[in-house]
């Protein structure tokens, strides 16, 4: 049987609010936007600039964008990392960019830059969610 302190902690950490759904969704689509709609302007702007810069630099280095396929495990992990960039990934796929150029030595670095941008966006989505539910100030 749970004591009253445990019940109180569970009640205060599990509020069901619309912001807990909207902030992560918007934050995935536009990096940093989950923080911006919660009035965390500095953090949101820093995330927007850093994630977008990483992704664009990766494209400029002729990095490769991974597509959804059931092949090699490294391709699947690369796809998950790239997909984390959200709207940047969608725009890149729609414009048919990120084909990768094997001839350039920087292409491998560009690929990693774009994957890291997506993974950083996943972390920012989790942060926006924790702020929305009140777990983090």
Chain-centre distance for alpha carbon 47: 10
Neighbour-count burial of 26, counting CB atoms closer than 10 A to its CB (0-12 exposed, 13-18 middle, 19+ buried): buried
pLDDT in tens, 24-69: 999 999 999 999 999 999 999 999 999 999 999 999 999 999 998 8
pLDDT, residue 104, reads 79
Helix or strand or coil: residue 99? strand
Q: Higher confidence at residue 4 or residue 26? A: 26
pLDDT in tens, 72-123: 898 999 999 999 999 999 999 999 988 877 777 888 999 999 999 999 999 9
């Amino acid at each position: 049987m749970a004591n009253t302190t445990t019940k109180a902690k569970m009640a205060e950490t599990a509020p069901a609010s619309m912001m807990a759904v909207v902030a992560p969704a918007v934050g995935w689509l536009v990096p940093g936007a989950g923080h911006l709609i919660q009035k965390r302007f500095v953090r949101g702007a820093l995330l927007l600039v850093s994630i977008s810069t990483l992704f664009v630099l990766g494209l400029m280095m002729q990095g490769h964008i991974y597509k959804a396929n059931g092949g090699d495990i490294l391709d699947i992990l690369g796809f998950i990392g790239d997909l984390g960039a959200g709207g940047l990934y969608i725009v890149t796929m729609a414009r048919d960019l990120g084909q990768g150029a094997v001839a350039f030595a920087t292409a491998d670095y560009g690929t990693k830059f774009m994957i890291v941008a997506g993974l950083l966006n996943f972390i920012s989505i989790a942060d926006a969610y924790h702020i929305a539910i009140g777990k983090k100030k």
